[in-house]
Structure 1
Amino acid sequence: MRRIGLWLLLCVMPPGVGATDVKVNVMTPAGAPIEYAVATLAPLGKELKAKPGKAIIDQVKKEFVPYVSVVPAGTLATFPNQDNIRHSVYSFSPAKKFELKLYAGTKADPVLFDKPGVVVLGCNIHDWMIAYVYVTEAPYFGSSEDEGEIALKGVPPGDYELHVWHPDSTGAELIRQVRIDGSAQTLPVQISLKPQRPKGEQHPYSPK
């Protein structure tokens, strides 16, 4: 009877019971925290996807802000221009090819990021303006600030596939299977970065 009662209890427990917060700490091999890293968690063997939302990627002082965004597939993003000059926004990335021709203000149409992958953004007028949009179907995702920490909220216990990506990583996207046991967990990750590139008008690169 006790086994039957336990089975019934497990069957009626609402989704999310036992969920916990998971932290991903992204560091260099020397132990320095890494900014602009993206981490996602997707449950193994389950069709659980993030819900589409809306995103804003500003253009401020001839820079895209934020530099790295992570959004669910199906997200509509707007690109307001806060500068007193015109900008264009474009991408040649396979996950999303588009072009917003020269404009000022916030009149540009929103862009639908409907396929998973990395989208590199650029401006036809200002070649140093580069940003990245990481589009994911994983239900848990985030990006790191200067302390290198990514907080993934409300993750139920189970087996997951962890992805960690950075625009300046020397290698391919890190993929690892992890088990979330229902307690607060910290997942340490090390990645190596290319030499840091200058930003702003000294940036020598373009996504063309």
Structure 2
Amino acid sequence: MGLLLPAWSGTLQLQVQDKNGKPLPEAIVFLESAEAKAAAKPLKGVEVAQVARQFKPAVTVVTPGTSVLFPNQDTVRHHVYSFSPAKTFELKLYAGVPANPVTFDKVGVAVLGCNIHDNMVAWVLVVDTPYFGRTDAAGRLTLDNVPNGNYKLRTWHASLPTGAPAAEQAQAVGAAAAPVLVKLAGSSI
């Protein structure tokens, strides 16, 4: 069975830089519109593991309604929590795999921590769009098969101050779009 794509879709090539003009790896870029929101569906099989007393991956992007499993692959127990407005939850001291995943149903950033290991931090970014991606080591990202139209392009990075919203700019997507440069103020690596 093939993937059905809109009759008119384009490719968006992006270069994300920090406030000093350096390429920004691991930036999350997403496109918002009413049509994108309608196309967003919960993702399947999402995990944020605890490995070597760190969350892996450090940043996870999901759509509303996505359930995330938090397997503990360490030999010590963890107490994973978030008190963020986007999602408040606690998985009290556990080893192995919790019985139930955590469902993220509200758009925003959930900061994760471990009540036992204070150095452990991660983020779950909940976006209302299926059009998102992560920049590579050179700060580049290509979003393919994006329906032509007008979007709000938003960019987020873990180095932004806590609680800072994702930067935004208007963005049109068409068949022959030029590369887009995004400079993320407030971020640095």
Q: Under a length normalisation based on structure 2, what TM-score does the superposition of the two structures give? A: 0.87
Structure 1 counterpart of 2:17: 27
AA matched with 2:118: D
Which residue of structure 2 lines up, in the alignment, with residue 8 of structure 1?
Answer: none
Q: Distance in 1 between matches of 2:86 and 2:155?
A: 18
Identity over aligned pairs, percent: 42
Whole-Å separation in 2 of the counterparts to 1:195 and 1:144: 14
- Range with greater deviation from structure 2 (108-117 or 140-149): 140-149
What residue number does 1:62 align with? Answer: 53
Measure the CA separation in 2 of the matches of 1:47 and 1:29: 29
Aligned to 2:133: 142
What residue is the counterpart of 1:180 in the other structure?
173
* 2:76 match: 85
What is the aligned counterpart of 1:157 among 143, 148, 157?
A: 148
RMSD: 2.1
Stretch deviating more after TM superposition (139-148 or 55-64): 139-148
What are the within-5 Å matches in structure 2 for residues 1-208 of structure 1? 16-43=6-33, 48-54=38-44, 55-169=46-160, 172-183=165-176, 185-193=178-186
CA deviation profile, 1:146-191 (whole Å, cap 9, x unmatched): 2212332211211111111112125642111111121254221011
Question: Counterparts of 2:97 and 2:141 in 1: how far apart (Å)?
Answer: 30
Unaligned segments of structure 1, at least 5 residues: 1-13, 197-208
Structure showing greater Rg: 1
TM-score, scaled relative to structure 1 = 0.80
Deviation at 1:115? 0.5
Q: What letter is aligned with 2:110?
A: V
Alignment size in residue pairs: 183
**Higher RCO structure (Cα 8 Å, ≥6 apart):** 2
